[in-house]
């Protein structure tokens, strides 16, 4: 009986917080909801002192391949992981950075300077695209369809 009451209370609490969150993130137009984390993104950029840095046009350099970089200079593990985890939270409403963050997350065990530069580039991209998010319309019956490229377009990523 106690488990049932706890479950009901927990579900009710989460539904109220979800409803209030959605109401606070609605677009001014009717029938649309925009999910974004603009304030979180601003705080993330300022947390790592990159608000004055030049914005990146893409989250990852398209001509440079990230690799294990065994001979590179080690960087602060705590700082690198903090950046990655902050960005991972942001990917919930920013699918445009999901792949880049996922690639950089692979190197959390022993990050090098090249990996840190890649993560900073993602944060600079986020700084230039603070208003990005996901739009949902409430007046349609849209289906979400996803596709995956199993070999990542012949990417040369190595772990």
Helices (H), the chain: 2-24, 38-47, 77-90, 98-105, 113-128
pLDDT of 158 higher than 80: no
Mean pLDDT to the nearest integer, 113-127: 96
Q: Is 39 part of a structural domain of the chain?
A: yes
pLDDT of 135 reads: 79
What is the per-residue pLDDT across 41-81, written as a single tens digit (0 to 9) for each?
Answer: 999 999 999 999 999 999 998 887 888 888 999 999 999 99
pLDDT of 26 higher than 60: no
**Opening angle at CA 22, ends 20 and 24, nearest 5:** 70
Averaged confidence pLDDT in the chain: 80
pLDDT of 1 reads: 47
Q: Is 153 part of a structural domain of the chain?
A: no
Q: Is 144 part of a structural domain of the chain?
A: no
Q: Is 77 part of a structural domain of the chain?
A: yes
pLDDT of 22 reads: 52
Q: Is 57 part of a structural domain of the chain?
A: yes
pLDDT tier at 155 (50, 70, 90 boundaries)? low
Alpha-carbon torsion (57, 156, 119, 98), positive or negative: positive
Pairwise pLDDT comparison (115 vs 20), residue with the higher score: 115
**Contact in structure between 122 and 104 (CB atoms under 8 Å):** yes
Q: Is 143 part of a structural domain of the chain?
A: no
pLDDT tier at 113 (50, 70, 90 boundaries)? very high
pTM (2 d.p.)? 0.73
Expressed as residue numbers, the domain containing 57 is 29-137
Mean pLDDT to the nearest integer, 134-144: 72
Q: Is 129 part of a structural domain of the chain?
A: yes
Q: How many domains does the chain have?
A: 1
Q: Is 157 part of a structural domain of the chain?
A: no
Residue 37, classed as helix, strand or coil, is: coil
What is the per-residue pLDDT across 83-111, written as a single tens digit (0 to 9) for each?
Answer: 999 999 999 889 899 999 999 999 999 99
């Amino acid at each position: 009986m106690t488990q049932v009451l706890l479950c009901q209370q927990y579900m009710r609490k989460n539904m109220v917080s979800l409803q209030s969150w959605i109401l606070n993130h609605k677009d001014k137009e009717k029938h649309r909801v925009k999910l974004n984390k603009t304030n979180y993104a601003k705080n993330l950029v300022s947390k790592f002192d990159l608000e004055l840095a030049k914005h990146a046009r893409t989250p990852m350099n398209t001509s440079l391949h990230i690799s294990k970089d065994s001979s590179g200079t080690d960087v602060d593990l705590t700082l690198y992981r903090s950046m990655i985890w902050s960005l991972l939270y942001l990917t919930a409403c920013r699918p445009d950075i999901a792949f880049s963050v996922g690639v950089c997350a692979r190197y959390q065990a022993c990050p090098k300077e090249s990996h840190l530069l890649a993560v900073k580039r993602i944060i600079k991209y986020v700084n230039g695209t603070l208003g990005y998010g996901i739009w949902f319309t409430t007046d349609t019956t849209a289906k979400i369809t996803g596709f995956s490229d199993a070999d990542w377009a012949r990417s040369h990523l190595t772990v």
